[in-house]
Chains A and B, each alone.
Chain A
Amino acid sequence: MNRASLTWRYTFSTRNRHRRMSLLIMMSLAVGLAALIVIMSVMNSLQDEVLDQLRNVQSFHIEVDGVGDRDAASVVRALSQIDGVQHVYPFRRVRSVIASESRSASVQVIGYAEEFFREDNPFTRRVFLDSTALQPSSEGVYLSLPLMNSLNVSYGETLSFTLLTRGATLALTVQEKSAPVTGLFSTKLKDVTTGSVLVPLSFLNDNGEGEEITYGVYVKDLSVREENRIAGEIAELLPDSDILRWQEIHGPFYSALLLEKALMYLFLFFMFVIITFHQKNSTLRLYHSKRRELAILRSIGMSRKKVRWMMIRTAMVVSSTGITLGAVLGVLVVRHLPGMFAFANRIHIRLFGISNPLLSYPITPILNIGELLISGSLILFLSFLFSSKVISKALKKEPMELLYHA
């Protein structure tokens, strides 16, 4: 028996009559941390998924408008030479009513340069294009499957387009066009998939007098500082242009995401508050359960300092074991969450005959090691703080007072 074994004996030894309490505290910490890890991973995943689609499918990272009558190729060349710019593509978005022989729909027609569909870029890496179909050309357009179904058209059939342009009080019809359906696309953003038609830029531009081209820029490093620097350099290069970053393009949606993130951190904060109360109560319970022993040890000559450190070590052993278990449990659940969802959905299908929308979501949790380390360290720090505070306060009492009158 030595001093280290005393700590161990007071924590987990089978001969320790308070072992059950130590184990309960440890397990509740483990479950709390595991829940925290899983929630953070899922929320990170959802946010990341939406932001990724928003930045790379719904818009470019930076959009440059109001360039005027400059030659598109020279603008693309000039923008591409800015350090940090990955790709530059000219494009146009036009509201349009499209009609098949029997049905019509209001959509956003997006015209891209043809190389946009051919090159490896953030859009083509995220959008699902029908590779067996024809590449979009000046004669063809890409539709989503839901739109094809709602318009009741198939490959090769012709659609008529009524292109609209923004007006002060109403939309003015400027062009009537027609083109065959030559391809199919899909994105993870339902609104984009069902409400957009992808066309070659030349389709929109052949008679587009007065319509300006917008330049979409993808940057290499998606950091606010880098985006600001590039936007600043574009402003110097094209002084009269309007430059919008993706956060401004999707202002309301981006604000909503920020709000959601803030609420998530608020929620996590409250979880920490709960864990903190749990920690404090656990330390108090641990102390009360061992108060008698502390008094005896003090009476036979153990100094306050030694007793304090023995109790702090006991609390830290319980906490760090709980945190380690919680981290392992959390990581395991995060790793297997997609499989668990799929399994639960299979059971749901077997029981009710239909897929559950929540369980069928293709979730890919993102584990942030930084968040995990911060959470674990914070809980460990709280454990140290409370055990130190509770024990120091208790040890101010004389040994006999601790034994008989505490």
Chain B
Amino acid sequence: MHDTLLTLQNITKRFQSGDTQLTVLEDLSLTVPRGASVAIIGKSGSGKTTLLNIAGGLDTPQAGKVIYKDRVLSSMKDRQLSEYRNSNIGFVFQSHILLEDFTALENVMMPSLIRGMRPREMRHKAQELLERVDLSSRAAHHPGKLSGGERQRVALCRALINDPDIIIADEPTGSLDEQSSSGIESLLFDLVSEQNRTLLLVTHDISLAERCSHIYQLIHHRCERYS
């Protein structure tokens, strides 16, 4: 039996494009239970990434509420919202966004540095995570020297370093070849399972979505259970 970790209530999001207003999400509601893995599928441009950004506190809706453990994100101040992103959410973006000026190890350490963890502790934890994803030998390399798969594994470690409640992954294998994709998928699900995390995943890959406990389809600006 799962208790609710994250709730999206009647979310509406529109973008202004010139003179026209583009509705991406309208009156969308979604519940993410603790410990569950939730997949959101949908066509390109259906608003999957926007939904994830809103859930992760990276974007704000025009209407509706995002509730995390009884706390409404829209009522949080910037400092609280930043803390929420830092401590409770681990992001894995589609394009494995890393800080180019920092090594793989430093990239992994960055969220814990922001959190204020002790240097020795964060270094040790980052090294452990890199070892877990078979990248300990690449710890001192800058992202420019890593392959796409390696970069995504670094991004995965970065998402996990602060022991977040939820991993939010936006098409994590979208920019990778088949072999790398398969490796990252396995790693993602293994780590989430090992560390008992909640996963909110966006993908257009049905086979990947089918590995999740809940699947929703984003259709007509709303989430519907996929069957």
Q: Which residues in A have some Cβ–Cβ distance to B below 8 Å? A: 1-3, 6, 9-10, 13, 15-18, 292-293, 296-306, 398-401, 403
Contact = CB atoms under 8 A, between A and B. Distances in A.
A297 B106 CA distance: 13
A50 to B, nearest CB: 55
A386 to B, nearest CB: 22
Contacts of B84: 301
B58 interface: yes
A15 B162 CA distance: 26
A182 B142 CA distance: 86
Main secondary structure of the interface of B (DSSP, over half): helix
Contacts of A1: 106, 109, 113, 119
A226 B119 CA distance: 65
Interface in B109-137: 109-111, 113-115, 119
The number of chain B residues touching the other chain, given as a range, is: 20 to 34
B101 A9 contact: yes
Contacts of A301: 82-87, 111, 114-115, 162
A46 to B, nearest CB: 49
B99 A296 contact: yes
B82 A302 contact: yes
B109 A302 contact: no
B79 interface: yes
Those 8 A-B pairs whose CB atoms lie nearest each other, nearest first: A301-B86, A303-B82, A301-B85, A300-B111, A400-B58, A304-B78, A399-B58, A303-B79
Contacts of B60: 398
Nearest to B159: A300
Given A1-B109, A16-B101, A293-B99, A300 B114 contact: yes
Contact of A403 (B97, B99, B142, B158): B97
A300 B119 contact: no
Contact of B79 (A10, A305, A400): A305
A9 B82 contact: no
B59 interface: yes
Given A3-B113, A302-B114, A401-B59, A13 B85 contact: no
